[in-house]
């Protein structure tokens, strides 16, 4: 495998696509590739210096005429600059909107200067299942995907959903998300657990960006049923538009003394280390990286059966999946895991074993091989 100079374009935020993009970049840098992040802020997970990682901030001139700052144009211009002066071999954009169209624009600008740069678009989820299919974005999203030199998706579900809703005439390579076990592994935080569950209660946890698609209110409703049978605490981690509604619901259900809102947390592995069950009842979930991270920390998962979750969950082994909105069966399944110590231990062990299948050592070569394939196809003069 040649060492490459790769531009990674992503959202720098807590969301799953930004996390995947950053962790992928860090792993590529460890292998000797030069990785250039191009985004409007330093990525959240880019938490340490690495000699092979570079960061280029996209800044855009604001002007009173603009109702919206044209980030797409500023991003395309920055990509042109970085490709040209850092002599990048390849661009890898994560989340199609607006990254794929910015990369396409930059590619066309550079081609006129006889600089040919292929770009790969990785589809992550709501860029296809929710936002991307809105008429305000669909034509541009479909066009920029079709004019990508390579396309990957984080699950088979998302690949099929893309073909179902967009007229895509190209192959989509499925490369699942991954776990870096040097970061995600079970650690002993018993002292911390005692601070949260002072009487040895079970700990349930939900981590998300509290958007409607996550159905966080279903987490609270199922917890209300669980707590009737099993002394438990609920940790709600993250923040977003639905947080206030969820806080109000906890008060209405008179369970707020058993629920802790922890807001956005960087060290989620410490919270997972004290948890007994991860709950993710999403309306749609192209993969469910948060669920896989929980499993890597030996936490079984109660989830909906939406989207790509059946590609990581094994029913009755790593946890249970229920139809979206089926709060009763989620509660019943949670109780069946939590009520017996040996059962809980078995599910924890199963969850960890399944997570190992997604360790980054298994997934990184798939991206590297795909880079080679795209480079050979898009730039015939490229040689290994
Ligand atoms: O989970 C979120 O809502 C954030 C979203 C994103 O686009 O950053 O996550 C998506 O990408 C993650 C990483 O590939 C996937 O694990 C999530 O399942 C996916 N979210 C949805 O499909 C709702």
In the chain, domain spans: 5-178+360-377, 190-358
What's the mean pLDDT in 102-127?
97
Relative to the CA of 284, which ligand 1 atom is closest? 23
Give yes or no for residue 81 having a pLDDT over 80.
yes
Of 64, 18, 63, nearest to 41 (Cα)? 18
Please check whether residue 102 is in contact with residue 80, taking contact to mean a CB–CB distance below 8 angstroms.
no
User: What angle (nearest 5°) sits at the alpha carbon of residue 143, between those of residues 139 and 149?
Assistant: 160
Helices 71-86 and 96-111, axial angle in degrees (round to 10): 50
When pLDDT is averaged across residues 306-330 and rounded to a whole number, the result is: 98
pLDDT tens per residue across span 143-172: 999 999 999 999 999 999 999 999 999 999
Residue 99: closest CA among 164, 216, 9, 29 = 9
Per-residue CA distances from 331 to 214, 245, 270, 324 (Å): 17, 21, 25, 13
383, pLDDT greater than 80: no
The pLDDT value given to residue 380: 66
Name the percent of the chain lying above pLDDT 70.
99
Q: Is the CB of 154 under 6 A from ligand 1?
A: yes
Domain at 190-358: CATH code? 3.40.50.2000
Contact 17 CB / ligand 1 (< 6 Å): yes
Q: Find out whether the beta carbon of 276 lies less than 6 Å from any atom of ligand 1.
A: no
Q: 47 falls in which pLDDT band (50, 70, 90)?
A: confident
pLDDT of residue 273: 95
What pLDDT is recorded for position 379?
76
Burial 167-201 (b: 16+ CB within 10 A, else e): ebeeebbbbbbbbbeeebbeeebeeebeebbeeeb
Residue 20 Cβ inside 6 Å of ligand 1? The answer reads: yes
Residue 384's pLDDT band (cuts 50, 70, 90): low
The residue-averaged pLDDT of 288-314 equals 97
Average pLDDT over residues 85-98: 98
Q: Is it the case that residue 355 has pLDDT exceeding 80?
A: yes
Contacting residues for 230 by C-beta, under 8 A, at least 6 apart: 201, 202, 334, 335, 338, 339
**Mean of the pLDDT values across residues 249-270?**
95
Q: Please report, for residues 34, 84, 334, 361, the alpha-carbon distance to residue 384 in angstroms, rounded to integers and kept in the order given.
A: 17, 22, 51, 21
The average pLDDT across 224-237 equals 98
Q: Regarding beta strands 5-9 and 173-174, do their DSSP bridges make them parallel or antiparallel, or are they unpaired?
A: unpaired
- Cβ(293) to ligand 1 under 6 A? no
Residue 184: predicted pLDDT:
83
CA-158 nearest atom, ligand 1: 22
What average pLDDT does range 197-208 have in this prediction?
97
pLDDT band at 185 (very low <50, low <70, confident <90, very high): confident
- Give the confidence band of 339 by pLDDT, cuts at 50, 70, 90: very high
Interval between CA 132 and ligand 1 midpoint (Å): 13
CATH topology match: 5-178+360-377 vs 190-358: yes
23-27, 44-48, 248-252, 316-320: least confident range: 44-48
Choosing among 3.30.460.10, 3.40.50.2000, 3.40.50.1220, 3.40.605.10, the CATH entry for 5-178+360-377 is: 3.40.50.2000
């Amino acid at each position: 495998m040649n060492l490459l100079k790769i531009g990674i374009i992503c959202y720098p935020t807590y969301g799953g696509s930004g996390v995947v993009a950053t962790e992928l970049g860090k792993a590529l840098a460890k292998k000797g590739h030069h990785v250039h992040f191009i985004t409007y802020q330093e990525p959240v997970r880019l938490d340490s210096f690495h000699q092979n990682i570079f960061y280029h901030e996209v800044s855009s001139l604001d002007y009173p005429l603009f109702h919206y700052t044209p980030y797409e144009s500023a991003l395309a211009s920055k990509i042109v600059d970085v490709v040209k002066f850092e002599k990048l071999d390849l661009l890898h954009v994560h989340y199609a909107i607006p990254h794929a169209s910015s990369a396409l624009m930059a590619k066309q600008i550079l081609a006129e200067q006889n600089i040919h740069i292929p770009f790969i678009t990785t589809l992550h989820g709501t860029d296809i299942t929710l936002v991307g299919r809105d008429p305000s974005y669909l034509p541009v999203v479909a066009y920029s995907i079709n004019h990508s030199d390579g396309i990957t998706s984080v699950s088979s579900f998302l690949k099929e959903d893309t073909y179902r809703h967009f007229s895509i005439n190209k192959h989509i390579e499925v490369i699942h998300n991954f776990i870096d076990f040097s970061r995600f592994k079970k650690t002993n935080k018993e002292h911390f657990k005692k601070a949260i569950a002072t009487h040895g209660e079970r700990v349930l946890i939900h981590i998300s960006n509290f958007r409607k698609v996550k159905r966080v209110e279903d987490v609270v409703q199922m917890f209300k049923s669980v707590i009737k049978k099993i002394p438990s605490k609920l940790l709600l981690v993250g923040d977003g538009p639905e947080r206030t509604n969820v806080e109000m619901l906890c008060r209405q259900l008179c369970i707020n003394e058993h629920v802790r809102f922890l807001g956005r947390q960087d060290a989620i592995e410490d919270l997972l280390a004290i948890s007994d069950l991860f709950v993710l009842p999403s309306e749609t979930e192209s993969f469910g990286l948060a669920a896989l991270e929980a499993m890597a920390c030996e936490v079984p998962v109660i989830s909906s059966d939406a989207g790509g979750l059946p590609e990581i969950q094994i029913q009755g082994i790593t946890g249970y999946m229920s139809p979206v909105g089926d709060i009763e069966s989620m509660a019943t399944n949670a109780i069946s895991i939590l009520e017996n110590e040996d059962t809980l231990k078995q599910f924890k062990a199963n969850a960890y074993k399944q997570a190992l299948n997604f360790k980054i050592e298994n997934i990184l070569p798939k991206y590297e091989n795909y880079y080679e394939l795209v480079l050979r196809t898009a730039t015939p003069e490229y040689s290994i």
